[in-house]
Amino acid sequence: MIVSALLTSVGINSVLCILFFALYSILRKQPGYLYVYVPRLLAANGIEKNLHIRLRRMIPSPGWVKKAWNLTEEELLSTSGLDAVVFTRIIVLCLKIFSFAGIIGLFVLLPINCAGTQLAAFDITAISGETLDLFTISNVNNGSKMLWAHCTAVYLITVFVCFLLYHEYDYISSKRNAYFYSSKPQPHQYTILVRGIPVSPGSSVSESVGNFFKEYHSSTYLSHVVIHRTNRLFFLIDYVKKIYRRFKHKQSEPVKEYSRFDDSFGVQKSNLENGDLEESLITEQWDASFSGQEVRSAFVFFRSRFGAAIASRLQQSEKPTEWVTEQAPEPDDVYWPFFQATFLQRWMSRVVIIVASTLLTVLFLIPVVLVQSLANLSQLEVWFPFLASILTAKVTRQIVTGYLPNLILQIFVKLVPPVMEFLSSIQGYISFSEIQRSACDKFLWFIIWNIFFANVLSGSFINLFSVLLDLRNIPSHLAVTVPAQASFFIAYVVTSGWTSTSSDLFRIIQLIQSLLRKCCCCNRTASDEFELPYIYYHREIPKILFFGLLGITYFFLAPLILPFLLVYFLLAYIIFKNQFLYVYAPKFETAGKFWPTVHNCMIFSLVLMHAIALGIFTVKKLSSASTLIFPLPVLTLLFNEYCRKRFLPNFVAYSAESLIKKDREDLNDSEMPQFFSELITAYMDPALSPLQCSDFDGHGVPSFSDISNDHIAPLLSHA
Amino acid sequence: MIVSALLTSVGINSVLCILFFALYSILRKQPGYLYVYVPRLLAANGIEKNLHIRLRRMIPSPGWVKKAWNLTEEELLSTSGLDAVVFTRIIVLCLKIFSFAGIIGLFVLLPINCAGTQLAAFDITAISGETLDLFTISNVNNGSKMLWAHCTAVYLITVFVCFLLYHEYDYISSKRNAYFYSSKPQPHQYTILVRGIPVSPGSSVSESVGNFFKEYHSSTYLSHVVIHRTNRLFFLIDYVKKIYRRFKHKQSEPVKEYSRFDDSFGVQKSNLENGDLEESLITEQWDASFSGQEVRSAFVFFRSRFGAAIASRLQQSEKPTEWVTEQAPEPDDVYWPFFQATFLQRWMSRVVIIVASTLLTVLFLIPVVLVQSLANLSQLEVWFPFLASILTAKVTRQIVTGYLPNLILQIFVKLVPPVMEFLSSIQGYISFSEIQRSACDKFLWFIIWNIFFANVLSGSFINLFSVLLDLRNIPSHLAVTVPAQASFFIAYVVTSGWTSTSSDLFRIIQLIQSLLRKCCCCNRTASDEFELPYIYYHREIPKILFFGLLGITYFFLAPLILPFLLVYFLLAYIIFKNQFLYVYAPKFETAGKFWPTVHNCMIFSLVLMHAIALGIFTVKKLSSASTLIFPLPVLTLLFNEYCRKRFLPNFVAYSAESLIKKDREDLNDSEMPQFFSELITAYMDPALSPLQCSDFDGHGVPSFSDISNDHIAPLLSHA
């Protein structure tokens, strides 16, 4: 890629970012857009929307940046939960790594690269300064002693990253424990999910569960709820919801008097046009609750956390496929549709989904290759000869080569996370959080394979595989192809990093939706169907980690990428903190279970860097350096193995010590009897619970009592 | 290899086998060799050795064969434990598989192979019938429709093996449970081992353990024993033992009055020449027991099996490297030397040993290659020109090519299991049984790599790796090279299978030892230092499994191997059952934990066969068949995955249901208080226990009360 094309890309994206920031600074203060930009504040306090229009409101104000920057970890923890803290710590980790790497890269490696004459000796165009390769390791002369600087840099960054990773794992692990100790009694701590319940002829599932746990866990067993088959009901309820909404629209002004939280459907249901539908719904509920539609799964409640842990972590039955137990998810986090599957069905669907997502990951290359060929201008002219006149213009030329390929790729990639989430949802997980964690892993490997490897090994489907199957030559292959793609990835950081994150701040899709609603429907309907948004961890975490991977692998090859990455991480740091404060509500709490994915991805990035370094030093004819690199991946993997032993168990389950301590604390709590009586009804299939309006928005609004007026006052003062 | 050389090898080995059988039939009846051939009977009953010499004793009698054949599983279980049953079931499984395979192979595939003309078209020597290749798949014409028979056979055998594997896993899993239910209360069921005990300043390890378990497991905690550092003591005790033995020799006739089981060292110690040694020993014991040599590990005893299971299977501490718990091994099975290592040390030694055993496995190829070149006669003549005249003789020629290579290989391989056991012993395992299981896995991979792959890919070190690193071409590589080695492996089955197993029956090394002792020392000393032998599972199981692998992979390539294998398995069936009855005493009881290794190896064999079949059908230009083979490995691996889920948990630990049931049974047992009082002293480091003669033979003699006179009478009647 030529420098000017890259500069065009940087220019366009910088302008876009500034535009987004400026527009956001204005729009967030407009009453009509509060639902788009500060939904959490609205949900918490119901800010008066009819503020008078003031001039100040039309001037962009950067106060929110400072506010987001100053938001402490404790504040974030109290308002958005530990997952949000862990999420921002990923960004902070990357900021730390690339600040260190940036100093080495820009002040040591970059001058060495530029001082080389390797490319000048072979390539005339290089002298004209038109390619970015001058700034990469490719320009260092073969066999030059200067390459030892790169080798040292690889060592330094590996040690630094491992050091940070260890401390971060340790820190988050301790945070997890602290979170557990400070938590109030929560239903899921006392509950396990049992599946594969064997039923003897003549008895019901419920009797079977009761007998089993009374027999083997008599001292801690409290009660249980058998799950019912409700798939048909789900569709019916969805249908009723739609009708209800339409009905509510027609139902007149004053909308504001309608308070969605305490208005029960029971009061209004007589107004429903569709009487027989409602009737059939109630019949279904009746059937499901009391007839033979019991599924062989149940939630079982215990008197203590330790009791639940014993029942969930020890194999219960002689037959491992019966009485399969696991800790229950939070009540709101339960994913209900998959409880009726048997052990074999769940196992099969798991296998099928793994195959399907692998196929999706692999076959996705076809559009990527298409994108690759689009980047080739002459190819474009051949395909669309009628565009020839436009394409030959210098400006379009640079836009096409510098910007278009990334944009198309981005649009394709944007479609993948929902697909991965869907695949994970039919893989048999029992909670939304597990579905998202699984989708997160899937999307991460998708993005690494399809964006990194497909671009680096630049190529056709077959070529890619033949390279990867020839294990021995992978390093030297990578050594040749990776540096060559430096400029592509710089452009990628700018396009997919800067602009995409800024558009996340600007919430462009939600803004358009809200505008469309304003135009099409009558006024303010948007606010009525208002639902608190939540962050898609399975989309955002892989993106951030991928930039981390790019940074680590390119750090010693093409240090020029580092400042662009640093700008991206700074943007992300401010934007996501701001969004946690004003937009994203926590949908579930995994208490930092996403971290092992982060750790593993960082280790993978390091080992990938070592493989490339191994190849580079061989290609560059400094074989002693490549020999010296060899122990590095081994040591890194050993370090990873140690961390797995040292920290991972804490991310799987809490220890007996913590559970018992916490149980003892609660012994004297006067609220516990009340809690236990509520516990028994906590896990109610939404399809079977009494129909209430609050259910009609899908997910109840999480409590947001911790955001005080301190947070809102400054917003309004800027407004 | 030429047919005549193979026939020579078969001939020599058959003669050897018959010789071993005949000699065994005679020698086992001689009073002087009872210690070699029926030690278990001696240990149980102390048979009168001075039988009168009768003529009958000098005539070989085959009665023992019938006896061994008729030994039922229940008898074997009661005398030798579940591990012995599982061991014989491996042989039975192979017998079943290769009977089925033999029918297909010999009556369907072999005629098809012989009818082919592929080799005749290319190779003149093939017509003369001098090579065995005529009987292999290589002789079937390329693209011939007859190859579909082979493809069908591959499918049939896969289905048959998987069917058997499933039922066997199921059967052994149920046997394991039955064994547990029928067992008496055993110390290890109530005991856990705790390592990484943190000690606060000013308190001892013992206090720390007591406080922790009183705090968190108050209802089930019984007591504990802290482990002491005793390495120095071990050497001292070993030394004392030697001196004691020497001293006992001098101490006179009549030897027979010495009863080794109730004779305490205390009575005789005043006679020991080396008084100050004994003193230093006692001082050491005192130091170790009461001074600061406590190790941060302890055995903790519980009132119930379920209590012990809860403590061992739940992570105890917030820090996963502290309070690391696991179920304790049987008291006799404990491997004491490694308890003082910290978490990090154990982890490091684990890593080092894995690297070391991998290196041993890989570097062992050098002698194998040497053996390969020995098989080449002309090479031998170059190396040892003075032998030229002998080597040119036809008989030596055939011996050298047919027999020598295998013999040398065998001797090398024989040295490996002890080395692997040694490596496993410093890997940080806490029991002999785990050491043997780990050594079993190590030796299995060793043998597969060094005997199968090294021979098949015939070759030099570098060549082997370059083939394996080029993943795509592995099947076609194997397709070419595997059938070519058929005759080598037939010879291997005959040498290493038939003769080696027969020599196991004949106990040739022990016989020579006993003869040497008779010659060198005075009479009958052999019987005084008599120790019950035990079977080396880590040596025998991999050997049997390797023959299974050979059979499965060669079944459709060269069915001629099958009859040889069947003979081997029949021999093994009779010989090992006989040896369990008369020779090998159980040293520990894993209750069938070796089975998962067997299952995995069989699955590996199947997948290897599929890879070869894939290559063969491609090479033979029947691409539709190779396409049809493709789903087979995938399905096999899925089957394996299902079995892992379905059965493997039962081989790791007993279920809560079983534990609680068993605990309840014991509630009313009047012997339990007595059991608990003994439990506390069950885990005593042998280096710290009072010095008794019974300790001096290393491992106490296992109880053998279950062998009744019914077993001994027929032996004597034949004698």
A262-321 pLDDT, tens digit per residue, is 343 444 444 444 555 556 656 655 555 544 478 888 999 999 999 999 999 999 998 888
In the predicted structure, residue B365 carries a pLDDT above the cut 80? no
Chain B: nearest CA to A21, how far in angstroms? Answer: 44
Cα→Cα distances B114→A484, B107, B133, B613, Å: 58, 11, 9, 19
Question: Are A318 and B471 within 8 A, CB to CB?
Answer: no
User: Among A515-524, A578-587, B106-115, where is mean pLDDT lowest?
Assistant: A515-524
Cα–Cα distance, B209 to B107 (Å, whole number): 67
Chain B: nearest CA to A267, how far in angstroms? Answer: 50
**Could you tell me the pLDDT band of residue B259, with boundaries at 50, 70 and 90?**
very low
Residue extents of the structural domains in chain A: 3-185+346-660, 187-345+661-700
The predicted structure's pLDDT at residue A341: 78
Question: Are A657 and B318 within 8 A, CB to CB?
Answer: yes
Closest residue in chain A to residue B351, using alpha carbons only: A638
In the predicted structure, residue A4 carries a pLDDT above the cut 80? no
In the predicted structure, residue A515 carries a pLDDT above the cut 90? no
Tell me A524's DSSP state: T
- The minimal CB distance from B314 to the residues A309, A318, A638 is found for A309
Question: Are A320 and B645 within 8 A, CB to CB?
Answer: yes
Chain B: nearest CA to A197, how far in angstroms? Answer: 14
B655 to chain A: which residues are within 8 Å by CB?
A: 314-318, 320
Q: Model-level pTM greater than 0.80?
A: yes
B466 to chain A: which residues are within 8 Å by CB?
A: 472
**Could you tell me the pLDDT band of residue A234, with boundaries at 50, 70 and 90?**
low
Question: Are A347 and B645 within 8 A, CB to CB?
Answer: yes
CB of B321 less than 8 A from some CB of A: yes
Most confident option among A365-369, A538-542, B340-344 = A538-542
Question: Bigger pLDDT: B689 or A499?
Answer: A499
The predicted structure's pLDDT at residue A119: 74
DSSP A356-418: HHHHHHHHTHHHHHHHHHHH-HHHHHHH-GGGHHHHHSHHHHHHHHHTHHHHHHHHHHHTHHH
CB of B320 less than 8 A from some CB of A: yes
Alpha helices in B46-72 (DSSP H): 63-70
In the predicted structure, residue A694 carries a pLDDT above the cut 50? no
A432: enclosing H helix or E strand: helix A432-447
CB of B290 less than 8 A from some CB of A: no
In the predicted structure, residue A233 carries a pLDDT above the cut 70? no
| Average pLDDT of the residues in B332-360 | 86
In the predicted structure, residue A531 carries a pLDDT above the cut 50? yes
Which of B550, B555, B486 is closest to B134 using CA atoms? B486
The predicted structure's pLDDT at residue A220: 92
B471 to chain A: which residues are within 8 Å by CB?
A: 469-471
B311 to chain A: which residues are within 8 Å by CB?
A: 656
Closest residue in chain B to residue A177, using alpha carbons only: B318
B316 to chain A: which residues are within 8 Å by CB?
A: 655-657
Cα A713 to the chain's mean position, in Å?
31
Residue reference for tokens 């196992």: A347
* Whether A327 contacts A334, CB under 8 Å: no
**Rg from Cα positions in chain A:** 28
Cα–Cα distance, B213 to B316 (Å, whole number): 10
Cα–Cα distance, B619 to A331 (Å, whole number): 59
Return the structure tokens found at A31. 């009453």
Question: Bigger pLDDT: A644 or A61?
Answer: A644
In the predicted structure, residue A124 carries a pLDDT above the cut 50? no
The predicted structure's pLDDT at residue A202: 86
By CB atoms closer than 10 A (0-12, 13-18, 19+), residue B609 is buried
Question: Bigger pLDDT: B495 or A552?
Answer: A552
Which of B100, B2, B91, B50 is closest to B559 using CA atoms? B100
The edge-to-edge listing of strands for the beta sheet with B324-327 is B221-228, B294-302, B191-195, B324-327
- The minimal CB distance from A317 to the residues B313, B314, B655 is found for B655
- The minimal CB distance from B318 to the residues A177, A315, A323 is found for A177
Please provide the size of chain B in residues.
719
Three-state DSSP class for residue A184: coil
Question: Are A317 and B470 within 8 A, CB to CB?
Answer: no
Question: Are A471 and B472 within 8 A, CB to CB?
Answer: no
Please provide the size of chain A in residues.
719
Closest residue in chain B to residue A652, using alpha carbons only: B315
Closest residue in chain A to residue B649, using alpha carbons only: A320
Question: Are B320 and A646 within 8 A, CB to CB?
Answer: yes
Which of B328, B303, B325 is closest to B314 using CA atoms? B325
For chain A, the 3-state helix, strand and coil shares in percent, each to the nearest 5, are 70, 5, 25
B214-231 pLDDT, tens digit per residue, is 999 999 999 999 988 766
In the predicted structure, residue B144 carries a pLDDT above the cut 90? no
CB of B359 less than 8 A from some CB of A: no
Q: A561 Cβ partners below 8 Å, 6+ apart?
A: A486, A489, A490, A493, A550, A551, A554, A555
* Whether A283 contacts A688, CB under 8 Å: no
In the predicted structure, residue B252 carries a pLDDT above the cut 70? no
A335-391 pLDDT, tens digit per residue, is 887 777 788 888 889 999 999 999 988 888 676 666 656 656 666 677 777 777 776
In the predicted structure, residue A542 carries a pLDDT above the cut 70? yes
Closest residue in chain A to residue B310, using alpha carbons only: A310
B646 to chain A: which residues are within 8 Å by CB?
A: 320-321
Cα→Cα distances B265→A19, B274, B423, B704, Å: 93, 14, 34, 24
B55-92 pLDDT, tens digit per residue, is 666 777 778 888 889 899 999 999 899 999 999 999 99
